[in-house]
Amino acid sequence: MRRVLSLLALGLAAGAAWAAAGNQKLNPPLAGGKGAVSGASRFVDNPFLISSDGSRVVYLADQEREGAVELWSVPIAGGKAVRLNGELVAGGDVSGAAPEVHNPFRISPDGRRVVYVADQDVDEVFELYSVPIAGGSVTKLNPPLAGGAGDVGGVAPEMPNPFLVSPDSEWVVYVADQDADEVVELYSVPIIGGASVKLNPPLAGSKGDVRGAAPEMPNPFRISPDSRRVVYVADQDTDNVYELYSVPIAGGRSAKLNPVLAGGRGEIRGADNMVANPFLVTADSRRVLYLADQETVGVMELHSVPIAGGKVVRLNPPLAGGHGTIVGADYEVNNPFRISPDGRRAVYVADQDVDEVIELYVSDLPADDPRERDP
């Protein structure tokens, strides 16, 4: 009996400690008890995000009407949840153009605004919007899209990240068939609204697209950490030959970063369709590292190039007598290489010494040439 009473006392003490720590529900009742915080799709990576200053939580939920997914913001300490999106047309949702859009909203790094994709004004026409994180006036960022037939995200439903916010919170970069239906191009626009700028030149006789060589590339474009440039993959010069380019974020001349790839038959990603991240930008925004079968078709190797273009350096030695490849035998490694935080080295996996034996290597990055720095 004493043991039971002791255990009960311990349980009550633990319960008191838990209660003292504080716990509360952030959302109000959801659509008559039938809604959910998650969005309409199981593919959404982040149904909620926390602002960088830790003050607010932004989340997706069919909170007012079952099946109508909207965007909400609530103080992290609890309080009134505010709807961020404008009034949705019948059938509209904040969820991107398809369930494959994994990130239909993002909070700016400074925590002040939220950018989202929704068919807010016209059902099944997905556009890009910006709104203060605590609620307020909603700004549409894109102009009319290809006569009402286009979408932010373009025609590829596998594009899970159709837009990014720059690290300085000033710009939004996105892909859309904005000027011509089913021609996916790259644009930038100020986060508070303004003129949208096309970043790429004409694409391979109007047949090209800004996207990866395969749907498994979720990030066909990236913004440099200093917010000055955008690096992207596109079949810009030759249809269905995917190469690497760099352009100023506010618009300007696009520079091809790679040389001719394996006699015109190689691609940024090499022989492997499954590499999710075949290129990365160093933390100092000076160089881009990328995987490509640049010298031999089917042999994926690691290269480094200045971000504005210049001399390309191969980082790996010859691979297992011409039979090896970065990531080796496994074609489902999403991140076969990484850059050290100081930007001095790359670490990668490859069957470099023995074919089909996957090992771990490090390579020094080239020293910067002042003549190749981005002006």
Domain boundaries, the chain: 27-198
Nearest to 66 by CA among 36, 38, 35: 35
Q: What's the pLDDT at 34?
A: 83
Partners of 242 in beta bridges: none
**How far apart (Å, rounded) are the C-alpha atoms in residues 123 and 70?**
14
Distance separating alpha carbons of residues 194 and 10, to the nearest angstrom: 61
Q: Taking a C-beta distance cutoff of 8 angstroms, is the pair 366, 304 a contact?
A: yes
Taking CA atoms, 374 is separated from 173, 188, 226, 228, 264, in Å, by: 20, 19, 11, 9, 27
DSSP state of 326: B
> 60: which 2 tokens?
């997706």
Per residue in 29-48, pLDDT (tens digit) is 998 788 889 865 666 888 99
Query: Do 366 and 313 meet the contact criterion of CB atoms below 8 Å apart?
Result: yes
Rg of the chain (C-alpha set):
24
Classify 257 as helix, strand or coil.
coil
Give the closest residue to 304 by CA, choosing from 334, 340, 353: 340
Question: How does pLDDT run across 115-170, given as a tens digit for each residue?
Answer: 999 999 999 899 999 999 999 999 999 999 988 888 898 665 567 789 999 999 99
- Averages of pLDDT over each 10 residues, the chain, 375 residues: 53 54 88 80 82 97 90 97 96 74 92 96 93 98 90 72 95 94 93 97 86 72 97 92 95 96 84 75 96 90 96 94 76 84 94 92 85 55
Per DSSP (E only), the strands in 101-260 are 105-107, 113-122, 125-132, 139-140, 163-165, 171-176, 185-190, 197-198, 221-223, 229-234, 243-248, 255-256
pLDDT at 16: 54
Q: What is the pLDDT of residue 285?
A: 97
Q: What is the CATH number of domain 27-198?
A: 2.40.128
